[in-house]
């Protein structure tokens, strides 16, 4: 199975900060990586797919990059509504695995 390691697992930041979250895969997964945002008590929301494609309706301050084994999610200017937990997920092969999550909290 493909393991996804996210870092950091916890991040404290201020409104307006640039934030970067990393997801590393245990083997090459081409660009078959998605990013989700989850707020407490809610279902995950798709942000980015195939590593860098922004899902419709998602603000342009979110961006993704990477291929192979290393990927990043960047929030260019953190907004109050962005405080949440973020997960990566690989779609290279089954079982489709998730990273452990990165919780972004207000500094």
Binding residues for other proteins, rule: CB under 8 A, are 1, 32, 34, 36, 38, 43-46, 49-50, 55, 85, 87, 89, 91, 94-101
Q: What is the DSSP string of 31-96?
A: T-EEEEEE-TTS--EEEEETTTEEPTT--TTEEEEEETTEEEEEESS--GGG-SEEEEEE-SSSS-
User: CB-wise, 17 or 69, nearer to other proteins?
Assistant: 69
Least spacing, CB of residue 38 vs other proteins, in Å: 7
User: CB-wise, 51 or 78, nearer to other proteins?
Assistant: 51
User: CB-wise, 17 or 52, nearer to other proteins?
Assistant: 52
Least spacing, CB of residue 25 vs other proteins, in Å: 14
User: CB-wise, 47 or 78, nearer to other proteins?
Assistant: 47
Least spacing, CB of residue 104 vs other proteins, in Å: 14
Burial track 17-27 (b if 16+ CB lie within 10 A, e otherwise): eebebbbbbee
């Amino acid at each position: 199975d493909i393991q996804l390691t996210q870092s950091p697992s916890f991040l404290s930041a201020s409104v307006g900060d640039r934030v970067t979250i990393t997801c590393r895969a245990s083997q090459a997964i081409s660009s078959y990586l998605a990013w989700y945002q989850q707020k407490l008590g809610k279902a995950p929301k798709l942000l980015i797919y195939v590593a860098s494609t922004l899902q419709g309706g998602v603000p342009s301050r979110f961006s993704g990059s990477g291929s192979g084994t290393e990927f990043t999610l960047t929030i260019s200017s953190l907004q109050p509504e962005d405080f949440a937990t973020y997960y990566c997920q690989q779609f290279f092969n089954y079982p489709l695995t998730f990273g452990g999550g990165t919780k972004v909290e207000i500094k």
